[in-house]
Amino acid sequence: MAGETSLTTLLRSMSPQLNAGEYVFCTLRDSQLPSGLEIVGSFREQEGLTVILERAHAEQAGLSFDYVAAWITLNVHSALEAVGLTAAFATALGKAGISCNVIAGYYHDHLFVGQADAERAMHVLRELAANAE
């Protein structure tokens, strides 16, 4: 099933959803996941394996972190080759002074914003969708 490529359609129908919980980014230098660790996402970098997981799970595993985020999912099936969606929401969030770390999955884009900025980010994203042309 192909994803949407029309920027206007993507913006109008992105339906941001704030997922429950607090999320953190950790790095594992030896790239080995501790047994039983439940992660949301990962990315292998030259310096080690970056993992995204719930804060409580990181604390239980003794992993260090310095950024606590809220996780927002854009509930529109955006095509991986779609142009402009990331730029549009990143610009809107940036103008509001909200930092955003983006992970693109096959079906959806996932935004990690500072925990304290979660509700404000949701407002910005809803406004962006409502005013899309």
DSSP structure class, residue 120 = H
Tell me the C-alpha distance between 73 and 89, whole Å.
12
Q: How far apart are CA 61 and CA 35, in angstroms?
A: 9
- Burial pattern 30-69, b for ≥16 Cβ within 10 A else e, equals eeeeeeebeebebeeeeeebbbbbbbebbeebebebeeeb
Rounded to an integer, the average pLDDT of 2-26 is 94
* Residue 30 or residue 27, greater confidence: 27
Residue pair 75/17 in contact by the 8 Å Cβ criterion:
yes
- For the ranges 6-10, 77-81, 124-128, the one whose mean pLDDT is highest: 124-128
* Single-letter amino acid code for the residue at 61: A
Percent of the chain past pLDDT 90, that is, above it, reads 84
Where does the pLDDT of residue 133 fall: very low under 50, low under 70, confident under 90, or very high at 90 and above? confident
- Residues listed for the chain: 133
Q: What is the mean pLDDT of the chain?
A: 94
Q: Is the pLDDT of residue 29 over 90?
A: no
Confidence of residue 90 (pLDDT cuts 50, 70, 90): very high
Does the pLDDT of residue 36 top 80, yes or no?
A: yes
